[in-house]
A and B are shown apart, each in its own frame.
Chain A
Amino acid sequence: MAAPKATAVPRAPKAREPAEELDMLVGEVRTTLLQNSHRVGATTVAALLDIVPGGRVRSATRPVAHAFSPDVRVGVHCPLATISGTRADGAGTAVARASVTGGTVLQASTRARLTRAAGERRLPWSHYVANPGIIEVAGRTDADDLAAGFLTTQTRASLDLGAVSSRLLSRVQRRPGIDRVTSLRARRTQLRFAVTWRSSDSAVLPQLLGAQRRISDFPSVPTGSAESFHRNSEPAASVSPVSVEFTIQDETLRTLRLRLGRCDPSDVVAACEDLALHDWLLSTVESLLDNSRIGVDSAQEVVRRFRPVIDHLLHLWMPGARVTEELAEVWAALERRPGFSREWSSLVGRIRDQLALAGLESSSSLSALARVAGVCQAGAEEDSVGA
């Protein structure tokens, strides 16, 4: 598939200054269930993530066990998607890492900073290797164009950091130390992110007023296009340097466009991984609940079906646990809309209801048995105990 050519674009975008400064972060997190019959202990996790000779696996035990691998470097030389169709080429390296949370959830994230190439010519590899995680961009395009292209119009030929993450997931899933027996089937989800930075004075620029948010609702029925809505113009007093656009593109793809004040890119990556984890928890638990035939089968049967959720996933909900102070606003925005924690508590509520019902069912079947045996009195007592 040929890369989009500038000449093929009917509506030529406004002329862009090639010398315009470029500094942005793009990446993609893929999340799935670690394939093991039970929660994996810290030592095994460390061995699983030990994928770079001489590298060091980092881990934390609180608030939830979390460990991540050293960075893996990947050479990149390919076209970059742009929303305008303007031609852009990237050369450099991306870096990827794998992580395990709670001994249960496996993630891989790949990221790169995009900077402006000094010239149109490709340099020797030694140049790019010396700057891990940086892709130099040649082409008359800007950050917004690249961000939108990266998030929504990737082609088979263009930069695909998700494919790198996906391969890394598969690599970890086939390592020794896990038995690859699964108690729960869950889909891999993808969170694509693009981040630009606002210089301190940029808040006065007109288009940046009003901390624009475009965050989608959870679509009830999958539609061809992304379901999202616009929420604009917060009161002027709450103008913040942060803008967050979270969009659910389809059943598995989410995009996140961030405009941030100065902060450490590695903190942003951690925040995106954290967001991806929670989004995956939501999607996974929701689809399990939807397919557990609530109201059709007995509550006990239903509970049996989502038992693995209770055993393995519920306790992992800890939004923002690995998000730094500077980025707390990102989580806060997502909590307002679409309201991650609200959504989660409603799911947990549904699970509790089924558990309570299952309890009732078993005690009422007990009391029915008791009645048959002619000990109504004892049965009634049991009822109240069971409930």
Chain B
Amino acid sequence: MIIFATSDKGGTGRSVTSCNVAYRRAMQGSDVCYLDFDFGSPTAGAIFGVEAAGQGTATGGGLHEYLAGRTAEVDQLDVWGQSELGGPRARPLGAGRLTLLPGDSGGGEFPVDATMARRCSDLFLRLDEEFELTLVDLSAGRSYATELVLRATADPALAEKTARWLVFHRWTRQHIVAAAGLVFGPHGILETGMDRGHRRRELEDTIRFVRTAVLEPDSPQLAVLRAEQSVWLQSYNTDLQKLAAKLRLGRSVMLGSIPLDPVLQWREQIIVEDDISTTRIANEETGQAFEDLAKRLTDDSAWEGL
């Protein structure tokens, strides 16, 4: 299964959430690969703590170079072996593989052509031979990367492959409007997808939304609020819910909601069990939200047509 992660605005938490979800999923036993398609600013290496690819790789074997036809094969970095995530540079017992296909340092966006789309679909097919989950972090907004994968997934050779989309947005008025625009608006995912040969209805059924850095009004973090603030927050939250529903981002198409976590506020990182139960710097709810989202990626009941 291929999962695309996108967002309209930058800095929504798309990469941090996707990396955490990939990590959780691998811990749950799946073989997972993570593709950094954010060609302008590849950050996945840094989030996973893989030094060799902190800001993309410099070997000339990253995804950008592969898609441009300058290398026949993409570097595959074993995250367990090259970071401290699973303990001392080893795969934790019972975990699946966690493999990073990095971007290139100094890469950038580039126009898409048919050969590139073909290389892209070849890569997806090839990774699907061995990984249960291929997670692709696209760049923000209406990017070439998005166009590229819409072309690649329209390739008839991928007809039997399941591809799903996660659209990340923060829980604010502007983010909600922007996310709706990215999916339903002009030159959005659906429109571009149709231009590339997808059927609108079917494509729409493969899209779900993920809310990031959310402060629930009943969160203990908000216990310090004055009564007036609480009341206002409650009612504004209700307004946002109405807005989301109106713009077709309502609860029925929401796959997950990740609470605001102080750790992530300050540092882009994977939240591991130790951060929750030993050093207790991260909140349990955040870990749980990643865990649930990781499971829901392949839970068909969460992806039924509406």
Contacts and interface: CB of A to CB of B under 8 A. Distances in A.
Interface of A: 1, 32-33, 35, 156, 160, 163, 166-167, 169-170, 173-174, 179-182, 185-188, 221-222, 291, 293, 296
A1 B73 CA distance: 15
A105 B73 CA distance: 22
Chain B contact patch, size range? 20 to 34
A57 to B, nearest CB: 21
B122 A170 contact: yes
B200 interface: no
B160 A180 contact: yes
Contacts of B31: 185
Contact of A174 (B73, B125, B132): B125
Interface in B52-85: 59-61, 71-73, 78, 81
B60 A156 contact: yes
B72 A166 contact: yes
Given A170-B126, A185-B132, A163 B73 contact: yes
Given A174-B122, A185-B129, A188-B126, 20 more contacts: A156-B60, A156-B61, A163-B73, A166-B72, A166-B73, A167-B72, A173-B125, A174-B157, A180-B159, A180-B161, A182-B129, A185-B131, A185-B132, A186-B129, A186-B130, A187-B129, A188-B130, A222-B81, A291-B96, A296-B94
For the complex of A and B, list the 6 residue pairs with the smallest distance between their C-beta atoms, beginning with the closest. Answer: A163-B72, A174-B157, A170-B122, A187-B130, A180-B160, A181-B160
B191 interface: no
Contact of B125 (A33, A170, A221, A293): A170
B217 interface: no
Contacts of B94: 293, 296
Interface in B141-163: 157-161
Given A156-B61, A160-B72, A166-B72, A179 B129 contact: no
30 contacts: A32-B129, A156-B61, A160-B72, A163-B72, A163-B73, A166-B72, A166-B73, A173-B125, A173-B126, A173-B129, A174-B121, A174-B122, A174-B157, A180-B125, A180-B157, A180-B160, A182-B128, A185-B130, A185-B131, A185-B132, A186-B129, A186-B130, A187-B129, A188-B129, A188-B130, A222-B78, A222-B81, A291-B29, A293-B29, A296-B94
A203 to B, nearest CB: 40
Nearest to B31: A185
B245 interface: no
A179 B160 contact: yes
Nearest to A160: B72
A178 to B, nearest CB: 10
A179 to B, nearest CB: 6
Given A160-B72, A170-B122, A291-B29, A35 B60 contact: no
B170 to A, nearest CB: 35
Nearest to B80: A222
Contacts of B126: 169-170, 173, 188
Contacts of B130: 185-188
B302 interface: no
A33 B129 contact: yes
Interface string B93-129: 0101000000000000000000000000110011011
Given A180-B157, A188-B130, A35 B81 contact: no
A182 B127 CA distance: 12
A28 B125 CA distance: 21
A221 B161 CA distance: 33
A33 B29 CA distance: 21
Contacts of A182: 128-129
A186 B81 CA distance: 20
Nearest to A222: B81
Contacts of A156: 59-61, 71
Contacts of A166: 72-73
Contact of A221 (B90, B122, B132): B90
A194 B301 CA distance: 52
A112 to B, nearest CB: 16
A291 B157 CA distance: 29
Contacts of A180: 125, 157-161
Nearest to B81: A222
Contacts of B129: 32-33, 35, 173, 182, 185-188
Contacts of B122: 170, 174
A31 to B, nearest CB: 11
B31 to A, nearest CB: 6
A186 B131 CA distance: 8
A193 to B, nearest CB: 19
A174 B129 CA distance: 12
Nearest to A224: B81
A163 B130 CA distance: 18
Contacts of B121: 174
Contacts of B81: 222
A76 to B, nearest CB: 13
A358 B200 CA distance: 47
A25 B126 CA distance: 28
B88 to A, nearest CB: 11
A167 B131 CA distance: 19
A182 B128 CA distance: 9
Contacts of B132: 185
A209 B168 CA distance: 67
A35 B125 contact: yes
Contacts of B73: 163, 166
Nearest to B121: A174
Nearest to A106: B129
Contacts of A169: 126
Nearest to A293: B94
A163 B119 CA distance: 13
Contacts of B90: 221
Contacts of A291: 29, 96
A186 to B, nearest CB: 6
